[in-house]
Amino acid sequence: MKRRTFAGIGAGVFLLPLAACGDDSDSGDGGGGDGLVVGFAQVGAESAWRTANSTSVQDAAAADDRIAELKFVDAQQDQEKQIEAVRNFITQQVDVIVLAPVVETGWTDVLQEAADAGIPVVLADRGIEAADEDLYVTRLGSDFVAEGRSAGEWAATTFADDADGTRILELQGTTGSAPANDRKTGFFEVLDAEGLNYEIVDSQSGNFTAEEGKSVMETFITTHGLDGIDLLYAHNDEMGLGAIQAIEEAGFAPGTDIQIIIVDGSKAGFQAGVDGKLNYIVECNPVFGEQLMDVVVQVADGESVEKFTPVEEGVFDATQFEAELPNRQF
Question: pLDDT tens across 140-174, in order?
Answer: 999 999 999 999 999 999 999 988 999 999 999 99
Determine, yes or no, domain membership for 326.
no
Record the pTM.
0.81
69: how many CB neighbours lie within 10 A of its CB?
18
32-54 mean pLDDT = 90
Determine, yes or no, domain membership for 316.
no
Q: Which amino acid is at 21?
A: C
Is 190 found in the same domain as 274? Answer: yes
Is 127 found in the same domain as 157? Answer: no
Is 302 found in the same domain as 259? Answer: no
Q: Which amino acid is at 45?
A: A
Is 241 found in the same domain as 155? Answer: yes
Confidence band, pLDDT 50/70/90 cuts, at residue 26: very low
Indicate the DSSP class of residue 34: S
> What is the spatial distance between Cα 119 and Cα 98, in angstroms, rounded to a whole number?
10
256-269 mean pLDDT = 97
Determine, yes or no, domain membership for 259.
yes
Note the pLDDT of residue 8: 32
Whether 75 has a pLDDT exceeding 60, the answer reads yes
Is 71 found in the same domain as 10? Answer: yes
Determine, yes or no, domain membership for 238.
yes
CATH number at residue 197: 3.40.50.2300
Is 18 found in the same domain as 93? Answer: yes
Average pLDDT, the chain: 90
Phi and psi at residue 274, to the nearest 5°: -60, -35
Note the pLDDT of residue 33: 54
Is 210 found in the same domain as 116? Answer: no
Query: Which secondary-structure segment (H or E) carries 74?
Result: strand 67-74
Q: Which domain holds residue 180?
A: 144-284
> What is the spatial distance between Cα 291 and Cα 293, in angstroms, rounded to a whole number?
5
Is 194 found in the same domain as 116? Answer: no
Is 293 found in the same domain as 213? Answer: no
Cβ–Cβ under 8 Å, residues 138 and 127: no
Q: How many domains does the chain have?
A: 2
Note the pLDDT of residue 228: 93
